Structure 1
Amino acid sequence: MSLIRVAAMDNHPIVLEGVGAALARSAPDMELIAIADSCEALLAGPGASADVVLLDLRMPGQGPAHDNVVRLVERGLVVLLFTAEERPTPVRRAIQAGAAGLVLKVDPIETIAQAIRDAHLGHLACSGPLAAMLLADESLGTRLSERQIEILQAVSRGLPYRLVAKNLGIAEATVREHLARAAHAYREGGIETGNVHGLITQARADGHLAE
């Protein structure tokens, strides 16, 4: 029997060591071959030859999770999100970037193992009702455009509107219009964000902006 080689990227190694031990007991068809705390470390070691990579969505200092997904997928790796994250926005962005599915850290090890098998076979892996809801329920979370997110990210770093406009090659009035549309999107969902600082706080809380 050919083993499914699993690698994992997480900033809590003890969690992954527990997963590795549980897989050894419950899933004789797979083996945890590498644990890493960054894309660089994973790709520089045995994890680069894994069949499936378990990727935590919350990796401090590693940039947005969907960027990590892109890097790993570009190297030919199958990425399965493995996280305690329950905000729909970062989950969906990671799926759009190429992740093969989602399992939650609270899931039973048998469920996680089956999701790994599904991802390895090329199926969209989804470990349970909550994960399915995060992936598919269109009513969850406020949708913002890529341009709105880009502008909010720039403003959150303290850049004045005129510099944001200059950097993006658009008019300052256009920057303000995008911010107004983002605030309107939240109002339509029943959330009043107030001023731009409130808008940034809400967008960050929803996972639109990098921590």
Structure 2
Amino acid sequence: MIPDASVVRVLVVDDEQLIRSGFRFVLAADPAIEVVGEASDGAAAIDLVRAHRPDLVLMDVRMPGMGGVEATAAIVAQSNARVLAMTSVDSEEQLVRMLAAGASGYLLKDDPPERILDAVRRTAAGDAVLSSRSAEQLIRRAVETENGSGRQHAIDLVGALTARERDVARGVASGATNQEIGAHLHISPGTVKTHLEQVFVKLGVRRRGQIGTILERAGLGGTDA
């Protein structure tokens, strides 16, 4: 049977059965979301992604055995599934590691149900979604970097970008327009815009000019785009 393309197929990954059941209950409120499986650790999650080909993985960060960071990196590398990290620990380092592994979003487990549902829909549609506290953490890092408080902060921020997002960021830093960057990278301006939206979120900036400052502090320059 061919899956309904209008339904978001979700795999729930958490080492606690009670948490998985809670997520199932929350997601069941939206008929356009279908839970296709559950896993209690990262290794099982990778196997279920291959078997069920979900659109989105709700990924716990800390689990016995293979944790969320390693599982996210493997899933992003091997499939088209997007990963929305869910955690009960508000850790800045954990946030950066999950984004660097390829997670498209990062929420806290105590976020309200409507926020979780909205994040699942938006992440599956291609948006980058962060909890308000996580966004504040990234913005704080960017501000600290802008104030010259350390090269390592900039390196960590840039490390959260995918290779394509980094290419787009370098194009922006060089002063190129979205159209020019797209022509240089052989992608459409719309695709450039999508990547750029994630660059803004992951670097915690609001203006194009701030991107160049962070790249410079991280030791990266612009492109010839």
Normalised to the residue count of structure 2, the TM-score between the two structures is 0.57
**RMSD in angstroms over aligned alpha carbons?**
2.4
- State yes or no: 1:44 paired with 2:82: no
Q: Which amino acid aligns with 1:55?
A: M
Q: Which amino acid aligns with 2:129?
A: A
Aligned to 2:192: none
Aligned to 1:100: 104
Alignment map for 1:7-86 (pairs within 5 Å): 7-25=11-29, 27-45=30-48, 48-63=52-67, 65-76=68-79, 77-86=81-90
Which of structures 1 and 2 has the bigger CA Rg? Answer: 1
Question: Which ranges of 4 or more aligned residues in structure 1 deviate by more than 4 Å?
Answer: 142-146
Extract unaligned runs of 5+ from structure 1.
147-211
Partner Cα separation in structure 1 for residue 52 and residue 108 of structure 2: 23
SS in 1 for 2:10: strand
Normalised to the residue count of structure 1, the TM-score between the two structures is 0.60
Aligned to 1:117: 121
SS in 1 for 2:83: strand
Extract unaligned runs of 5+ from structure 2.
157-225
Partner Cα separation in structure 1 for residue 59 and residue 139 of structure 2: 20
CA separation of 1:71 and 1:21: change in aligned 2, threshold 3 A? same
CA separation of 1:51 and 1:135: change in aligned 2, threshold 3 A? farther
Partner Cα separation in structure 2 for residue 45 and residue 62 of structure 1: 14
Q: CA deviation at 1:44?
A: 2.6
- State yes or no: 1:130 paired with 2:144: no
2:42 touches 2:70 (CA, 8 Å); kept in 1?
no
Q: Percent identity?
A: 28
Q: How many residues align?
A: 142
Q: Which amino acid aligns with 2:140?
A: D
2:11 touches 2:56 (CA, 8 Å); kept in 1?
yes
Partner Cα separation in structure 2 for residue 75 and residue 48 of structure 1: 13
Alignment map for 1:171-186 (pairs within 5 Å): none
Residue deviations 1:128-148 (CA, integer Å, cap 9, x gap): 4213223443059x95889xx
Q: CA deviation at 1:121?
A: 1.3
1:81 touches 1:101 (CA, 8 Å); kept in 2?
yes
Q: CA deviation at 1:48?
A: 4.1
